[in-house]
Chains A and B, each alone.
Chain A
Amino acid sequence: MLEIKDLTVEVEGKEIINDLTLNIERGEVHVLFGPNGCGKTTLLMTILGLPNYKVRKGGITFKGVNIIDLPTNERVKLGMGMSFQHPPEIRGVKLGDMVNIAQGRKEEKIDEDVIELAKRLNISDDFLNRDVNRGFSGGEVKRSEILQLLAQSPDFIMFDEPDSGVDVENIELIGRILSELLDRNKMPSKRKKAGLIITHSGSIMRYIKADRAHVMLEGRIACSGMPNEITKNVMENGFEKCVELCSEKEGTE
């Protein structure tokens, strides 16, 4: 579904991603670990096509379409979605309005189905009527982002740290709904959605089964493997050590 080849990205004149290659097939969920500043968020923003992220080399194809020159909204129309870690607040634009926008509806009234979805995320009518992200707590931001994604229903979903700044109870709820969004409850051959999840702490991994995990260091994928293995390694040994172990393995083979 998503093919990234030899990608080099600059942000404000500084090279953040360097010769990165990554393939995500339909029905797959990948997890991306990495320390702060390694380029994880930059990768997601580049896939989404935000203007400050300049592709210097390489290519990205999505569903077979070369998307390098497409503006963000065109990429979204092709079926991409993103859950932001730090979304901006927009005065006078309510969460309910955002949900309608995500659904591509022009009406002011919120769809009954969406209200049902909101209930599952413990989102009340009052909350739908609040200015989006204004004064939202960490958990509220995540739930609001996920509600918008549920309304948008993209085929490929990127999550930027769905587990940061969220309490345990919320992580479980978020994990459960993400699993559903990503077809994780279906048999592998029936899975149509794909996802890329960034996590710093790895705590969301307890609730989502991923197909593949990667460790990113200094703008490139330094190590890839089975999620269980990588998660365990990262948790026990830290990022650098994990990468070291990965390459050792490579060396002995």
Chain B
Amino acid sequence: MMRKELLERARRAKTKKAALGEDIAIENFVTGEEHEPLNSLNEIPDEYKQNLLDSGIEPSEKDRSGSFLQRDCSVVFSTVKYPGLELMSTTEAFKKHDWLKDYLWKAIPVDMDKYTADVELDQTHGYFIRSEAGKKVTMPVQSCLFITSDKIGQKVHNIVIAEENSELHIITGCSVSHAVNSALHLGVSEFYVKRGAKITFTMIHNWSPGMEVRPRSAVIIEDDGVFISNYILMTPLKSLQMYPTAYCVGKNARATFQSIVYAPGDTKIDFGSRAVLQGEGSKAEIISRAIATDSAKIVARSDVIGEGANAKGHIECRGLMLSDSAEVDSIPELKAKLKDLDLSHEAAVGKIAEEEIQYLMARGLSEEEATSVIIRGFLNVDITGLPEALARETKKMFDMSLEKVM
């Protein structure tokens, strides 16, 4: 599709409301001032360092194969330390690689809703990450989308490509400075997992109560490809709606989504994951844990669509209610379009059982400590498929986020 045609379709979808989530007036948000580029991630002002750390980003760049930082609407840092790995802003990548247009809006329709349309019409960068064929970049790449100014509308388009038999591990942190009262993050992410390749994507959202967030993500997985997403959200925000979709198009393609969401305050979250199992023997697993407290409202969706022979999908979503004014709405869906399929789901929403608290108190914990141990346990999803160091680190990030809310 030509760029002209994409723009035309985007223009027509400019006012098209999203199927889910509250409608946001995009025009209330601005591009803001340009920020100066940095020579190293460590040059970021001290007041922001904690924000980065809280979203899993290492300002020292230690144990990272590459680092990318976009502040508001400016790409202020991008560097790569590993051969076979490419990392730069999408804007730059389009200048460098003519072929990249073949990946543009191939996983997500540009006119899906007004948010995708706006990212096409008014894009402010985003990151491009690519691992060359056969290159296994086990050290993670980190990318951070950071908002530091009030009323900013950050509209990124990310493209990630793992070429054949390559491996890519990404930590992405989305964060906001405490000085921001209200801002908008629109993030389109298109992932392409080629034959025999693997991408793990660990995303930590570290937002604040004034943030409106509309990620739009999709993954196309070819033969024997693997995509693993780990999503962690522990901070309050105004509203978030996302429903990333993995298309397992290849034979034995595999997708895993694991999401951990803790919603305090007046947070409104409508999140989910969808897997479309088209390839023969393709597999998907969707695991989510959602905790709602105070007056938070969570809709936890999951959807597995079986279209390929011998495809296998499983959904496991659990919700925990910590307050009577909170709400959890769990909606697991399975669709079978063939007979040779194995699709299953388990969903549960409940409160903390008294007898669990008493049991822990009988081992010496106070009621408060016992509650915290149970919540920790509830959110404790074994992260699989990550290199050992990254798994350890993700666990640490998770513990840290939990420490902050408990």
Contact = CB atoms under 8 A, between A and B. Distances in A.
Interface in B81-113: none
Given A97-B373, A101-B373, A90 B365 contact: no
Given A92-B376, A101-B373, A87 B363 contact: no
Contacts of B121: none
A12 to B, nearest CB: 13
Interface residues of B, number: 22
Interface in A24-83: 48, 50-51, 71-73, 76-77, 81-82
B362 interface: yes
B88 to A, nearest CB: 39
A73 B361 contact: yes
A98 interface: yes
Given A92-B379, A97-B373, A101-B373, A76 B364 contact: yes
A104 B364 contact: yes
A80 B353 CA distance: 23
B329 interface: no
Interface string B366-406: 11000001101111110000000000000000000000000
Contacts of B381: 92
Given A73-B365, A73-B366, A101-B365, A87 B360 contact: no
B358 A51 contact: yes
Main secondary structure of the interface of A (DSSP, over half): mixed
B363 A92 contact: no
B377 A98 contact: no
A84 interface: yes
Contacts of A73: 361-362, 364-367
B373 A72 contact: no
Interface string B334-367: 0000000000000000000111101111111111
Interface string A82-112: 1010011011110001100110100000000
A88 B364 contact: no
Interface of A: 48, 50-51, 71-73, 76-77, 81-82, 84, 87-88, 90-93, 97-98, 101-102, 104, 131, 148, 152
Given A72-B358, A152-B364, 15 more contacts: A50-B358, A50-B362, A76-B361, A76-B362, A77-B364, A88-B356, A90-B359, A90-B374, A91-B380, A93-B373, A93-B380, A97-B377, A101-B364, A102-B363, A104-B364
